[in-house]
Amino acid sequence: MFNPVKGVGQLGQLKKLRDEAKKIQDELGHIEVEEERGRAYVKLTADMKVKSVRVNGEEMNDLKDVLNDAIEKAQKKAAHKMQEMGGGLMGLLGGGQ
């Protein structure tokens, strides 16, 4: 049977989790990683946003853009798969019962 008081508590937990996730995502956007090998250089943030791609010293904006698009699509597919498998956050909070 549905308990409205319990539901309010779960919504509060969900909001808290969402706020925490947003804070972490914002922090990850400020962490940068650079890698250079041979003639190739890449800089990206810890939230998986490619900031720079250079080959032979030449900035490759098209490559940067296509990498960002591919990463975004992969992240969306991964999130969708996780929702299918576990019911998303509501499943973690016991809301799927």
Q: Which tens digit of pLDDT belongs to each residue from 62-84?
A: 999 999 999 999 999 998 988 88
Secondary structure (DSSP) of 56-86: TTEE-HHHHHHHHHHHHHHHHHHHHHHHHHH
Q: From its phi and psi, is residue 35 left (phi > 0), alpha (psi between -120 and 50) or beta?
A: beta
Choice between 94 and 70, residue whose per-residue pLDDT is larger = 70
Tell me which residue range forms the domain holding 24.
4-92
Q: How many structural domains comprise the chain?
A: 1
Residue 45 forms part of a structural domain: yes
The pLDDT score that the predictor gives to residue 5 is 53
Rounded to whole angstroms, the Cα distance separating 61 from 58 reads 9
CB neighbours of residue 44 within 10 Å: 20
73 occurs within a structural domain: yes
